[in-house]
Structures are given as C-alpha cells and as structure tokens.
Amino acid sequence: MSTPPAYDLPLRRSTGTLDRALHGARHIAYWLDSAERPAALAPLSDDLVADLTVVGGGYCGLWSALLAKERNPELDVVIVEGREVGWAASGRNGGFVEASLTHGPENGERYFSSELEALDRLGHDNWREFADDIHRHGIEAEYENGGVITVATEPHQVPWLEALAGPQKEFLDQEALAGHVMSPLFRAGVHDKEGALVNPAKLAWGLKRVCLEKGVRIFENSPVKGLSRQGEHVSAHTPGGSVQASQVILATNGFPSLLFRNKLRTIPVYDYALMTEPLTDDQLQAIGWTERFGLTDMSRQFHYYRKSVDNRILWGGYDAVYHRGGRIKPEYDIRKETFLRLADHFMDTFPQLPDITFTHAWGGMIDMSSRLVAFHGTAIGGKVAYSSGFTGLGVAATRFAAKAMLDLLDGADTEITRTKLVRTKPLPLPPEPIASASVGIIRRAVAQSDRNGGRDGTILKLANALGYSFDT
C-alpha cells in the first residue's frame, strides 16, 4: 500500500498515550457495527425487465428509487447494489444533514453567484422535505434538529464567523459559546439552526425498508460491470444476470464510473473518524456539551464532531487522503497515522477528558469534484442519468440529486434542471501522474493556508484562478 506523506505538525502527545486511547478500537464504522444491520438480499441471478434501473444502493440510489415510486407508484424499479445497501459512505459518515447545495456560501458565490438565492431556497426546501419524508415513512434514524455550531479556533476566523451570522445563524462570542460547549481552543461560534443530525446507517437501512415496502426490487452483491443499449432500452450487466429498462440512474458515488465521460470528474479521497466510548454525565458537564447539536471548525482542514444518542462523540475530518491512481481498497479504510492525529487533536480540544478511549476508528471514500459539489447529467440518448461529486456533503444533497436525475430523465423543464448547478459540469481532475503530484502540492498549500491566518499562497491562488476549489 502506498503511504501518502504526512503534511502536518508533529503530534503533541506520545504515541504511547494515543495508542492507549485507541487500543481496542474496532476498525469498522460505529454506525455499521450494529445488531440492526439487515441481512443482505439475494444477488441478481436472472435477466429481468423493469422500467427504471438504479445502480448503487447508497442514499443517492435509495432516494432515487423512492422518489421515482412516489412520482409514479406503477413504475417497476430495480436497485442493483455491488455490495450491501449503505455499506459505503452512506453508512459511515458523520450524519450532518446540511441544507447547502453549494458546499457553503463562499463556494456557492464562486461558481453559482447568479443563482445563489434560488439554490439556497431549493436546498432549504430539500432539507425540510428530507425531514418530512423520514418522519412520514417512520424511518428511525435518530434525527435531531439541534443545528450545527461552527467554531473559530484561530483569531483570523472570528471575523469570518461574524460575517456568516444572519437570521438563522446566531453569532456566539467566546463567553456565549462557553454556555454551549467548552474548549480552550474555541474563540467564537455561529449556531446555524438549520442543521440536523442522523444515524447514517439507520437512515440507509430505513430507506431500504421503505423502498421494499413500495415494491422496489433490490439485489445486493451484484456489481454492474457495464451498460449496453438495445434500441429504446439499456441493460445493466452483473455477473449473475442483467436488468433491461428504458431508464437507468447511476448513483455510484466516487466508485469507477460506468460512463467514460465521468471518469475524470471525481477523485476518491479518504476521510476518517473516531468514536469515543459513551460519556458520563460528569464528562459531559466537564466540557459543557449537554445540549444536542453538531460542531465543526472553520479551518480548511476542519474537524466535525457530534454526539450519538448514547452520548459518544464522533470526531472526524482533518486529513483527506488520496491514493495514487485513484485506487479504492478496503485497507485504505484504516490509517493509523490519521487515527493517532485525530486522537491527539481530540485531546487538544477537550483536555477535560484526559482518559477518553475510542471504541471505533474508520475511514471512508468521498467523491471529490473540482467544484466541491455534485454534478448531474444524462448520457446514452437521455436514457441514463447520473449524479456524483458530493465531496463529503451528500447526506441531504443526494436527495436533491435524485430529484434532479428524475427530472432529467423525464426531459422536464423544471427550476432544478434550469440551474447552472445541473446544466454545467465541473472541470475534470487531472489524470495520473499529475493527479498524485497535484494533490500533494495542494494538501501542503491548504495546511500552510490554515497556519498563515487563512491567506492563500500562490499555489492555491493559481488553482482557484484555474477553476479548482479545495478544502477537506
């Protein structure tokens, strides 16, 4: 396995101390390590005919199938999943449900300034519908609507936060912030009331259940190896059989695209997270975090953290690791140097918890695109629709992508299909060997920018001028 270089400052604690905290941590996403994980359904073993084939059983594919059935209950929909529903990013993410379709206002201003207001509205509608749907369908995904507090950990970030404040976003100075959560690193915060949290795997499993109840046929352990067109139909071929349908949705995230045109539009980047043991009431009091909300910081290499329903803390982010050749391998889900660094950062943030131990440590692949937001489109004579490139912010945005793909397949002229977000594509990412070299250079530049009062150096300015966006 190639070991990408570390770009960071040395650890502040001995590896012995950090190893002790991580000793016994299971290398599986906490959310997937559950007795509620449903058994896999049978693989495809026949040649079927349907109206709509959905390739991929993460959120994007599940929402696509569900919303297609809700638009037309007669539609015969089949999901073909290469492994298990929800095993990938959808079952192992931070569970932050954010409304933004543009990866935040700054990135939105950069690429979609002429339609930012409409995209914000569409994002908020989608965010509300997301909550309505999971409640309407009785999906027990531990949905919590306490918002997300973004904190400044460096002086230069405080004015950035002040600029972010607005009607739904309350600015908290250091003292006010300490009323919600206490860390010696925190200087100020903004509490965005329109953020929510879910148990990610339970959301995927709940969507699976609802799809099945609506009559969607789901086949697991059935990787689609290729698509072929026969007149008005497109067949998706797996080792055990095929599905022929008049329409296909590709919801395959950053896994190798079945369409040549999309092969350079995303790169797989690995993100990592730790989960602590459940905190006692005394431990929660010590950090002052007794309410229910998620936390994230303002750095480009940011952390995200939130409590589970049983008061564990999920602590993730910071490192974003690309492997040469854009390879995706199970062994990349485990990265000891990142786990040590995350544990070290946790202890810097909450020194009130010196004896904390972590029960889980895992990683997952994110589909990074050069605009940091998903792109959408059609291929094969408008019969195949695709969405990919969520860049680590896909819990709610995949539901919007499902709506966009269904509108595109219908050939409908809707507010969604008229947006630049849906009509235009991001710049392709460079092929190897330029990809590995560029990612290394950019990672160093991003780390440098965080240490340099948030100012971009020449490399990031150049990359930005060329139309590429970067953060973790």
Ligand X SMILES: Cc1cc2nc3c(=O)[nH]c(=O)nc-3n(C[C@H](O)[C@H](O)[C@H](O)COP(=O)(O)OP(=O)(O)OC[C@H]3O[C@@H](n4cnc5c(N)ncnc54)[C@H](O)[C@@H]3O)c2cc1C
Instruction: Kindly report the backbone phi and psi dihedral angles of residue 253, in degrees, each rounded to the nearest multiple of 5, phi listed first.
Output: 55, -135
Instruction: Show the tokens assigned to 221.
Output: 């352990």
41 binds ligand X (CB under 6 A): no
Site for ligand X, residues 174 to 233, rule: CB under 6 A: 223-224
Instruction: Write the DSSP symbol of residue 4.
Output: P
At its nearest, how many Å lie between ligand X and the CB of residue 94?
A: 3
Measured distance CA(299)–CA(294) in Å, rounded: 16
CB 68: neighbour CB atoms within 10 A?
A: 24
Instruction: Show the tokens assigned to 270.
Output: 């690995």
Task: Provide CB contacts within 8 A for 458, sequence distance 6+.
Answer: none
103 binds ligand X (CB under 6 A): no
Instruction: Show the tokens assigned to 5.
Output: 């270089």
Residue in 4, 8, 44, 56 binding ligand X, rule: CB under 6 A: 56
Residue in 60, 181, 249, 298 binding ligand X, rule: CB under 6 A: 60
100 binds ligand X (CB under 6 A): no
Instruction: Show the tokens assigned to 89.
Output: 């990013």
At its nearest, how many Å lie between ligand X and the CB of residue 287?
A: 20
Residue 356, CB-side half-sphere exposure with 13 Å CA sphere: 32
Q: Which is nearer to ligand X, 342 or 460 (CB)?
A: 342
Measured distance CA(318)–CA(338) in Å, rounded: 9
252 binds ligand X (CB under 6 A): yes
Q: Do 78 and 243 meet the contact criterion of CB atoms below 8 Å apart?
A: yes
Residue in 4, 268, 377, 392 binding ligand X, rule: CB under 6 A: 392
Which region among 7-15, 390-398, 444-452, 461-469 touches ligand X (by CB under 6 A)?
A: 390-398
Instruction: Show the tokens assigned to 102.
Output: 């543009």
Measured distance CA(170)–CA(158) in Å, rounded: 13
Residue in 273, 321, 356, 460 binding ligand X, rule: CB under 6 A: 273
Q: Which is nearer to ligand X, 178 or 240 (CB)?
A: 240
Q: Which is nearer to ligand X, 271 or 344 (CB)?
A: 271
Residue in 115, 220, 271, 344 binding ligand X, rule: CB under 6 A: 271
78 binds ligand X (CB under 6 A): no
Site residues, ligand X (CB under 6 A): 55-61, 80-83, 87-90, 92-96, 98, 223-224, 251-253, 255, 258, 271, 273, 304, 316, 364-366, 390, 392-395, 398
